[in-house]
């Protein structure tokens, strides 16, 4: 191979290498964006699946609804106390999940859930009672949110 051809190949290699690298970075960047979109979609779907499961509590046990939506208090020894405390735990676990997964969710969806969670927490003596007795099992970020002035 003559020296002119070698120089030409070196120049082509010097130009092609950064171009190929840039194309690779663009491809990787697009993959990251798509992965983030997929993660948000999966998180969104997961939350709605959980909501459906939680809704079944109130469908199967409509007598529990007033303890969460109508500010009806409950105390140990009441007939539905254990059911209400179990439902409280499930709801608070779900609320915590939403708060913890917030970075992976669309802001428009999160804002609606936060309004719903804050409203229910304000109205439900049962949620407050359960959380006050079990704060140690919840994430600090969640506790900051749920106890804030919303």
Distance CA 85, CA 82 (A): 5
Q: What is the pLDDT of residues 87-98, one digit of tens each?
A: 999 999 999 999
Average pLDDT over residues 125-147: 95
Q: Is the pLDDT of residue 138 over 60?
A: yes
Tokens standing for 38? 């997929």
| Global pTM value | 0.73
Question: Predicted confidence band at 42 (pLDDT cuts at 50, 70, 90)?
Answer: confident
Q: What is the structure's pLDDT at 43?
A: 67
Domain definitions of the chain by residue range: 39-147
Q: First-to-last CA distance in the chain?
A: 75
Question: Predicted confidence band at 150 (pLDDT cuts at 50, 70, 90)?
Answer: low
């Amino acid at each position: 191979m003559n020296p002119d051809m070698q120089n030409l190949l070196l120049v082509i290699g010097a130009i092609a290498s950064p171009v190929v690298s840039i194309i690779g970075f663009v491809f990787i960047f697009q993959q990251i964006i798509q992965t983030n979109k997929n993660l948000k979609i999966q998180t969104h779907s997961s939350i709605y699946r959980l909501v459906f499961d939680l809704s079944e509590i109130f469908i199967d046990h409509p007598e529990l609804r007033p303890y969460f939506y109508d500010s009806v208090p409950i105390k140990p020894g009441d007939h539905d106390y254990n059911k209400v405390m179990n439902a409280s735990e499930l709801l608070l676990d779900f609320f915590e999940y939403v708060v913890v997964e917030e970075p992976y969710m669309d802001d428009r969806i999160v804002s609606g859930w936060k309004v719903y969670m804050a409203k229910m927490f304000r109205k439900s003596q049962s949620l407050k009672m359960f959380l006050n007795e079990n704060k140690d099992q919840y994430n600090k970020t969640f506790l900051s949110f749920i106890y804030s002035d919303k």
